[in-house]
Amino acid sequence: MASSFRITLAQLNPVVGDIAGNAERAARAWAEGRAAGAGLVALPEMFVTGYQPQDLVMKPAFARHAMRMVDELAKRCADGPALAIGAPLLDGEGLFNAYHVLSGGTVVARIRKHFLPNYGVFDEKRVFRSGAISGPVRIGPLNIGFPICEDAWYPDVCETLAESGADLFLVPNGSPYYRGKFDRRVSIMVSRVVENDLPMLYLNTVGGQDDQVFDGGSFGLNRGGALALQMPLFDEALAHADLSRTDAGWSIDEAARRNVFPDEWEQDYRVMVEALRDYLRKSGFEKVLLGLSGGVDSSLVAAIATDALGPERVRCVMLPSEYTSEASLQDAREVAARLGCRLDTVPISGPRAAIGQTLAPLFAGTTPDITEENIQSRLRGLLLMALSNKFGEMLLTTGNKSEVAVGYATIYGDMAGGYNPLKDLYKTRVFQTCRWRNANHRPWMNGPAGEVIPPRVIDKPPSAELRENQKDEDSLPPYEVLDAILEGLIDRDASVEEVVAQGFDRATVKRVEQLIYASEYKRFQSAPGPRLTPRAFWLDRRYPIVNRWRDPG
């Protein structure tokens, strides 16, 4: 009986809906595994369709197309190692999230996912049926148990597989990033390994899909939870896991290469870059543009876009009014020059005057207020969208999570755009992220190294510059106060009383709460952006637009 076995783990980036393209990626990985002497090549959860397909997978024609592709892969990959790959299964019992094992030209096993996540960004109970727990599959000398993603987060499936004679767990995943997620994954998987005294290979996908970034970081654990294999975060990679039979059972060769992971600031920044890069690549856009005001938010978005695409594919546009300071004009020019991006200047004073004249008969007898301020923002949105339409460049919006939370943004104005890289990044973290980018450069960045955002841009008081001497703190609490309150009310779902107990003024907390609820309609219409936390706006936090409830505390 063989005493060794090689498994090739393919940590790859599928495209949702690109069934033929994803199958081709799988076939190439299988060919590399065959060349390396693997007995099994494994790909992540729902790889054939891409993950998450959401309601698309409920379309019978889509599910049947994916299943036909699995059958074609089986025939194509008949002469060589087994291939394990995620794809839907539509049969007489319903629609399942399934993992298919292909060998010798046929599908030899179909494992149905048992535990369906139904929280945060996941709605699998809406889409799939829960499958019965399957036993292990014999591949070469090994009995391999395949708990699919969530199935390994609870003891039941792994325990059943171990009792049924599994020698190894191989866990295919589509597990998206949020800050601190990797450590949580490892902790839970160590529990499954220790509970069952079996080694595990944990295989995750990579790449961006709408608001989610799948961060890879696939790993292997030996008995006792010892780390035997660690693949990189965010990058596509293939790893060959060599297993050897010992007196205690099968073990993963711990000589395999390990990767050192970056800190959370770098991980967040990488997520924003990869999310934008994949959103554009997968939706067919090659270039972007953004309004560059000379402020910290738009400067950071310009840096992210440049790192994602390269400076030659980023257009920055300055749209000054009579309230735009000379310092802001200089700062915008300096940021664009340091990044190497094109900068166009389109003054809005003339169009603003024309709109003022048009509305003058209707506005007669009224006092200028936020209406006139918002006209400026909406003019900028109009002009930027015109450039986007004319030149096929996706418009990026630049509002941070603090502004998105309290509605400190103009709908159809500075909220206009196709993607928002800062949507889940609070303002206080924007400042620190700018400092991090100035001090760090990585091979995956397409922008220049060095201090790309001048310190004066980071240090000056934030302002929308829609009226004379305007500052953000005229309308909002200081950002260090606002963000702490928002983290309580949004990220921790704390009550008003609990936030006040932290030392914050009750009237300020109640005002922030009112702003959060009152601006839900804006968020409903806002551009998507990368998820950095477990309480990102969109799928993680779904509130009614019309809502009269307020915390009575």
Catalytic residue flag (residue 45): yes
Q: How far apart are CA 52 and CA 193, in angstroms?
A: 27
User: CA 171 to CA 166: how far, in whole Å?
Assistant: 13
The encoded tokens of residue 399 equal: 């509002």
Place of tokens 């994916």: 66
CB atoms within 10 A of CB 299: 30
Tokens of 540: 């993680």
Cα–Cα dist 133/152, whole Å:
12
The CA–CA distances, whole Å, from 211 to 178, 207, 406, 408, 530 equal 11, 11, 20, 21, 4
Q: What is the DSSP letter of 260?
A: P
Judge whether 541 and 535 are in contact, CB under 8 Å.
yes
Whole-number Cα distances in Å, 318 to 54, 110, 336, 383, 495: 38, 56, 10, 11, 41
Q: Which of 77, 124, 149, 465 is catalytic?
A: 149
Residue 421: how many other CB atoms lie within 10 Å = 30
Q: In this structure, what token pair is assigned to residue 514?
A: 């009112």
CA 186 to chain centre: 19
Q: In angstroms, what is the C-alpha Rg of the chain?
A: 26
**Strand ordering across the sheet containing 237-246:** 106-112, 94-103, 82-91, 40-42, 4-11, 237-246, 249-252
Angle at 477 between CA 474 and CA 479, to 5 degrees: 110
- Candidate list 45, 124, 274, 465, residue with the active-site label: 45
- C-alpha closest to that of 284 among 20, 18, 54: 18
Eight-class DSSP state of 232: P
Q: Which of 426, 397, 408, 442 is nearest to 301 (CA)?
A: 397
Known catalytic residue: 113? yes
CB 517 within 8 A of CB 492: no
Dihedral of CA atoms 170, 172, 177, 178 in degrees, nearest 10, equals: -60
Question: Residues of 166-191 as b/e, b for ≥16 C-beta within 10 angstroms?
Answer: bbbbbbbbbbbbbeebbeebbeebbe
Cβ distance 18 to 51 under 8 Å?
no
| Tokens of residue 119, six digits | 């929280």
Distance in angstroms (rounded) separating the CA atoms of residues 236 and 232: 8
C-beta separation of 179 from 19 below 8 A: no
Decide if 513 contacts 551 (C-beta within 8 A).
yes
Separation of alpha carbons 291 and 436, rounded Å: 22
- Tell me phi and psi for residue 109, to 5 degrees: -155, 145
**Strand-strand pairing, 206-209 and 212-215:** antiparallel
What is the SS3 assignment for 97? strand
Active site residue 274: no
Which one of the listed residues 113, 423, 427, 522 is annotated catalytic? Answer: 113
Q: Which residues are catalytic?
A: 45, 113, 149
